[in-house]
Amino acid sequence: MPLSPPVSRSLRHTRAITVDVFARDDGLWDLDASIRDIKTREIALASGTRPAGSPVHDLKLRVTIDRALNIVDAEAASDAVPYPGFCETIGPAYKKLIGLSLMNHFRLHLKDRLSGVLGCTHLTELAQVLPTAALQAFADDEFDTRADAQVKPASAERPFELDRCHALRSDGPAVANYYPRWAIKAVSG
């Protein structure tokens, strides 16, 4: 269902976030993430005027993960920043992501290591989307996401995607339909 029709309005700002995930020949995976902020009008920054259509932020973050979703390498680059000569010096701090698991309280550990003055607000915000992007990339490539009734043996482990979103809650109709073995009857109250 689409959004409702908007009232009359004019575009002022665009933030674009992309994550491209690559399977590497060595068995590892690269998540290349970027965040880009563009104003539709000229803006005055403390560091000088930024022309309309020119990025205020153009930041990139690459993390390399293993098949268990553990970060084995990380790097950051800042191609456009509001404070040239200062913002882009934080890139090496993102090596602190190495050793974290995207599946084990990643956002909490990210905050501990890189929030506030310990990192770049925008790069740290960008890093928060990495767990779900990795799961989407791994779905049906590294993880079997087909319904258990058709393909999984009786000894199979519980599918990773259950109870990770509203639609796939264990007591919901989608799980009852596609993963009946793992369905839990809702407790009536």
| pLDDT confidence band for 149 (50 / 70 / 90) | very low
Answer yes or no: is pLDDT of 151 > 80. Answer: no
Distance CA 122, CA 58 (A): 10
Question: Which CATH code of 3.30.310, 3.40.50, 1.10.260, 3.30.390 fits the domain covering 13-138?
Answer: 3.30.390
Q: What is the pTM of this model?
A: 0.82
Q: Where are the domains of the chain?
A: 13-138, 148-182
CA atoms within 13 A on the CB side of 99: 5
In 40-147, DSSP assigns E strands to: 43-45, 48-50, 55-65, 71-80
Condensed to tens digits (0 to 9), the pLDDT of residues 5-32 reads 999 999 999 999 999 999 999 999 999 9
90: Cα separation from own chain's centroid? 20
Answer yes or no: is pLDDT of 157 > 60. Answer: yes
Condensed to tens digits (0 to 9), the pLDDT of residues 43-65 reads 999 999 999 999 999 999 999 99
pLDDT number for residue 159: 82
